[in-house]
Each structure stands twice: as structure tokens, then as C-alpha cells.
Amino acid sequence: MSLKVDSRDKAQEIIDKYDYFLFDCDGVIWRGDHILPKVAETLDLLKKNNKTVLFVTNNSTKSRDDYLGKFEKIGISGITKDEVFGSSYASAVYIEKILQLPKDKKVWVLGEAGIEKELQELGYTTIGGTDPRLTADGVTFDPDHELLNNLDKDVGAVIVGLTMNLNYLKLSITMQYLIKDNKSIPFIATNIDSTFPTKDKLLIGAGSIIESVSYASGRKPDAVCGKPNQSMLNAIKADNEGLKASPGKGLMVGDRLNTDMKFGRDGGLDTLLVLTGIETEDRVLAQEKSVAPTYYADKLGDLFEMTQ
């Protein structure tokens, strides 16, 4: 049964007990471009207590560098690139290190600039993505479109993530790459999140976009690189000996049970689910003991508010 953080003692116990705080972003730190209540104060409090603070997001629309800009813009300063892990970075590293795609091969992107930038930083050429030819004029679908009828023979991988600029042409070209050459081109997905929490509503998530091209092509992704995949946590443990030695000194704070909480639990961390994103209190309380978050709270900022 998850323990609700509803008193000074419980909030202070959490601050004292853990050395490493891993934060999901959408639905925890912010919703869209709107920072959630007392988040900056909570992060400052943790840093004043010499805690290690890291960010792990499944949102592939931005690169790590882009996220540094977003943190500054919403008033959270002092974050460094090595403290931010995103599914676009995790997917690019997968393509380079695990798939070992040669750098003379290209990657077809159904997604935003975050994916393109992380792949390009590793030396890959990307096509698709934010190419303006894919959204020209907003006219109706052209079955004779050049990018649909001239598939690039150098494409060696397809990656699909969240995009707010989805259209039938992008979906159709992605499908062509997934079915060509006897369905042999690797299909990489950034994450499974079915919905995306904006300021005041839930919108379509990357996982739902991935499901549509998966269904049409008859293919399941060969890899899903975001949470709960442990690759980002393994990278964090490799850089943080204390967490690697004692994962129980780490707390994963998230808003989604099947990504954030599973990611933390599978990595041996304790978990705190906040109710400012995807989940409801009823859903948290209905979880089996084996998968229930360690704690839950109305919002992350309660760690600050309840200890002042």
C-alpha cells in the first residue's frame, strides 16, 4: 500500500532518507510550459541538502540542450547537460551503441527536433523529422509526393517519437520504410506513453503515434528506449557509484505508473508518484502491493511546503 506524503514528518523523512532524486518531467516538474507549484523551491531545498538531482524524461521532442533552455525559461537554473536524460538521447545512443548503425547510413525520423539533434550530435544524418517539405502548405495529401515515392536507399533505421505536427504523409512514409526490404529496417520507438499531459488536458502521447504505425506496418518496435527501459538508469548508475552500490538510496519521482514507477522499481529505487500528471489517487491505491509506489503525493512541491 502506498504511503501518502501528507505530513511534515513524512515529507522530512523522504528528504532525509534518499541521496539521489530522479525526476520525471512532464506531469511532475511542469505541464507543457507551465512549472508546477513550488517545484523550483523543492529542487533548491534538495540541493541545499546536498542531494543529487537528476531528470529523466520520455518526452523526445527536445534534446538535452533544448531542455537546459526550458529549465532556464521556467525559472529552474543551474541544471547541467549531464543531469538530464531524455528518450531522444537514449534512442540515439541505442542506435549507435547497440544497433551499431554505421554512420554512413541515415535515420528516418517521425518526430521532432529533439530526436534529430541527438542523432546528429552522434554523427548521423537524419531525414524526415522537421523537414518543411513534409508539412508544406498544409494542403491535402499528395500521393505523388517526392518523399513518398523516392524512398532513400541509405535509410538504415526508423525512429518514432512524439510529434505535434503529425500528418498522413509522415505516417505513410514511415510505414513505407517499415515494410520495405522484407520489413528488415530496424524500428526504434522512443517511449510507450499513451497520453501527453499539457497545461490543462491530456493529449495524444508518443506511444499512441507509435501504435498507429506499428498497426499499419504489422511490426512491433525492435526497441523502446525510454522508461521503463533500464538503459537510462544504467547510464545514471554508471556515473553515480553511490546509487549503483545502493539503489535504495535513490527515489524515482514520476506521474505515470507503467513508465516512471516501473523504471524506478525495476532499478531497485523507491518511488514517489505525484498526482499532477497522468494518474489518479484511486488508480494508485488500486495497485497490487508488489507494484504500488512507495509513496504518493498531491504534488512534488509538498516536499517543500510541508517542511517549511
Ligand X SMILES: O=C(O)[C@H](O)[C@H](O)COP(=O)(O)O
65 annotated ligand binder: no
Which residue from 11, 21, 26, 64 is in contact with ligand X, where contact means CB under 6 A?
Answer: 26
- CB 274, min distance to ligand X, A: 11
- Please report, for residues 158, 292, 300, the alpha-carbon distance to residue 252 in angstroms, rounded to integers and kept in the order given: 30, 13, 12
- CB 308, min distance to ligand X, A: 27
Of 108, 104, 76, whose CA–CA distance to 91 is shortest?
108
Does 162 sit near ligand X (CB under 6 A)?
Answer: yes
Describe the chain by its helix, strand, coil percentages, rounded to 5. Answer: 40, 20, 40
Q: How far apart are CA 161 and CA 302, in angstroms?
A: 32
Which residue from 5, 11, 22, 24 is in contact with ligand X, where contact means CB under 6 A?
Answer: 24
Which residue from 63, 191, 214, 276 is in contact with ligand X, where contact means CB under 6 A?
Answer: 191
Which residue, 126 or 194, is less far from Mg ion as judged by CB? 194
Q: How far apart are CA 303 and CA 253, in angstroms?
A: 12
227 annotated ligand binder: yes
270 annotated ligand binder: no
* Catalytic status, residue 144: no
Which residue, 156 or 277, is less far from ligand X as judged by CB? 277
Please name the residues in contact with 52: beta carbons below 8 A apart, sequence gap of 6 or more: 19, 20, 21, 240, 242, 243
Does 163 sit near ligand X (CB under 6 A)?
Answer: no
193 binds, among Mg ion, ligand X, none (CB under 5 to 8 A by kind): ligand X
Stretch that binds ligand X, among 8-16, 20-28, 213-221, 235-243 (CB under 6 A): 20-28
Which residue from 26, 112, 118, 270 is in contact with Mg ion, where contact means CB under 5 A?
Answer: 26
Stretch that binds Mg ion, among 21-29, 31-39, 235-243, 298-306 (CB under 5 A): 21-29
* Catalytic status, residue 131: no
Catalytic residue among 19, 24, 65, 298: 24
42 binds, among Mg ion, ligand X, none (CB under 5 to 8 A by kind): none
Which residue, 221 or 277, is less far from Mg ion as judged by CB? 277
Q: How far apart are CA 194 and CA 172, in angstroms?
A: 20
Does 196 sit near ligand X (CB under 6 A)?
Answer: yes
Write out the DSSP string of 123-188. T-EEEETT-GGGSSTTPSP-TT-HHHHS--TTEEEEEE---SS--HHHHHHHHHHHHHHHHTS-EE
Q: How far apart are CA 110 and CA 13, in angstroms?
A: 44
- CB 87, min distance to ligand X, A: 7
Within the chain, strands assigned E span: 3-4, 20-23, 30-31, 34-35, 52-57, 84-86, 106-110, 125-128, 155-160, 187-189, 195-197, 202-204, 223-224, 250-254, 270-274, 295-297
Does 24 sit near Mg ion (CB under 5 A)?
Answer: yes
Q: Which residues bind Mg ion (CB under 5 A)?
A: 24, 26-27, 255, 277
Q: Which residues bind ligand X (CB under 6 A)?
A: 24-27, 57-59, 162, 191, 193, 196, 205-206
